[in-house]
Amino acid sequence: MSDLPTPLHLSSRELAQAVDRINCGVLARDPSATIVYANDRLHRWLGYEREALVGRKVWSLVPDDVRELLQTELESIERGDERARLNVLRRVDGTTFPVIVLPHPEFDDEGEYIGSITLFVDLGTVQTAKPLGQLPQGDVRSTLGRIALELQSITLTAGLEVAAALPLDHPRLSELSPREAEVLSELMGGSRVPAIAQRLHISQHTVRNHLKAIYRKAEVPGQAELIEWVRSLSEESR
């Protein structure tokens, strides 16, 4: 029996087809908040023809009364905030549905924001979509508030699992300073330099200096090798 194909064996066309089939919307935007890619599922959810979303601004996809909130969220994401959040998308016919938004900001080698890839998870099964003009504010807000509490619980649990998985008592990590340990914990939790700087209230330059110190102590050349190295230490500690 031949080996099952892995994503690394997929052609560009096959990968694009896989992205279209996954059960979530996928959107990419540039620094000007212009949509440069949206998968077929997102088009179908919103009622647009294929490729019709490309070239639009992202705030055209939300109700008018949440655009100010979206602008604040976009600015936070551009600073490296990758936390899951809640919002509402608006279909072509004016109906709305709540979504979990999972942003992934991208930065160049100089730390400049160059765009985002965002996943949307449909929560329409929780809140039935209604025409925007008839949607009581309390409905969406109470529903999103309840979901937010659940997400907060999930996020807290995940954070505790990351902390528990970081073997700071391992002899190879004993040389780290308290701040270096914090930076490493954030890195192992999936955060990038801008997000780490924001969460620890330090500059991105300082974060990079801490990472260089960690690389030196761990005797690894970069982030990918560091993450694999820490994972191997976690396995040893079990």
For CATH 3.30.450.20, the residue range(s) in the chain are 7-160
Structural class in CATH, domain 7-160: alpha beta
Please compute, for residue 104, the number of CA atoms within 13 A of its CA located in the half-sphere on the CB side.
8
Query: What pLDDT is recorded for position 1?
Result: 36
For CATH 1.10.10.10, the residue range(s) in the chain are 166-237
Query: What pLDDT is recorded for position 237?
Result: 59
Query: Among residues 20, 102, 26, 88, which one has the least CA distance to residue 59?
Result: 88
The DSSP call for residue 84 is -
Query: What pLDDT is recorded for position 48?
Result: 93
- Alpha-carbon distance of 110 to 144, in angstroms, equals 37
Q: DSSP 3-state assignment of 186?
A: helix
List the pLDDT tens digit at each of the 238 positions of the chain.
344 444 445 455 666 666 666 778 899 999 999 999 999 889 999 999 988 999 999 999 998 888 888 888 888 888 888 888 888 898 998 888 888 888 989 888 778 889 999 999 887 544 444 444 444 444 555 555 555 555 444 444 444 344 445 666 677 787 888 888 888 888 887 778 888 888 788 888 899 999 999 999 999 988 888 888 888 887 775 5
Strands (E) in 8-155, as ranges, are 25-29, 35-38, 85-90, 96-107, 113-122
Q: How much is the pTM?
A: 0.51
Q: Is 114:108 a contact under the CB 8 Å cutoff?
A: yes
Tell me the CATH number of domain 166-237, given options 3.40.190.10, 1.10.357.10, 1.10.10.10, 3.20.20.80: 1.10.10.10
Residue 218 tokens read as 């761990």
